[in-house]
Amino acid sequence: MSFTVRAITLDLDDTLWPFAPIGARIDQVLHEWMLEHSPRTAAMYPVEAMRALRERSFRENPHLHHDLSALRRLTLREALETSGAPLDLLEPAYEAFYAARNQVEFYPDALDALARIAARVPIAALSNGNADLQRIGVMHLFAFQLGSREHGAAKPAASIFHAACARLGCGHGEVLHVGDHIEMDVAGAARAGLRSCWINREDRAWEHDEIVPDLQFTDLTALADWLEAHSSPCTDARVREHAT
């Protein structure tokens, strides 16, 4: 299949790097931080208890599902308050979490493919998570980063896709959204009028009858190959200007 791609929006977690190892490391780092700075909290909320508290906070605060940083602070606040710890530990505890959250291990294909893709078209990061590309060290490959917290709504809401397209200076059908999640990324992008690319690293079955991804690959190298075979580098000054 061949069609015009003037820009790409790209999911982060489980598209550029696996999130599961990050989540496990976060839990351990926070527990060790609490052991050092608030032993009472660590005793009351070992790893499994802190995880259960976080999951309960998520269930009870659907209005914050677009803002995972706020949910994390809410969890930390409750743990500190319940254990009788001073609340001035909240921000240092959050910073310990956030430093660990941004220690990512890219999929083997990701960095090289990302550089190849960025050489063809502007890339905007579009994520429901709270990764910081500046801290991670790859912001130079992106035109900008738009998170659900900053936008005020999370994927698969059409508005976050449309906001990215507007900032890129492209029509909805000229932007290819790339991600791993069937509903949040592929179906959400398709319903918003964007082209969609499913990065299906685990050979999962497609779940929608009414929506089919425009492209499907097992890794980002295959997407870079497709772009180089089917499109010319974007030389549209308007797109490049909007994207910077």
- 150-184 pLDDT, tens digit per residue, is 999 999 999 999 999 999 999 999 999 999 999 99
Domains and CATH numbers, the chain: 7-17+105-242 (3.40.50.1000), 20-101 (1.20.120.1600)
CA distances from 4 to 14, 25, 176 (A): 26, 40, 9
Q: How far apart are the C-alpha atoms of 201 and 119, rounded to whole Å?
A: 23
- Give pLDDT tens digits for 108-124: 999 999 999 999 999 99
pLDDT tens-digit readout, 212-237? 999 999 999 999 999 999 876 665 54
User: What Cα–Cα distance (Å) separates residue 201 from each residue in 14, 95, 107, 204, 206?
Assistant: 9, 31, 10, 8, 13
> What pLDDT was estimated at residue 55?
97
* C-alpha pair distances (Å), 219 with each of 41, 61, 180, 202: 41, 34, 10, 10
User: Quick one: tokens of 234?
Assistant: 């974007």
pTM over 0.75: yes
When pLDDT is cut at 50, 70 and 90, the band that residue 243 belongs to is: low
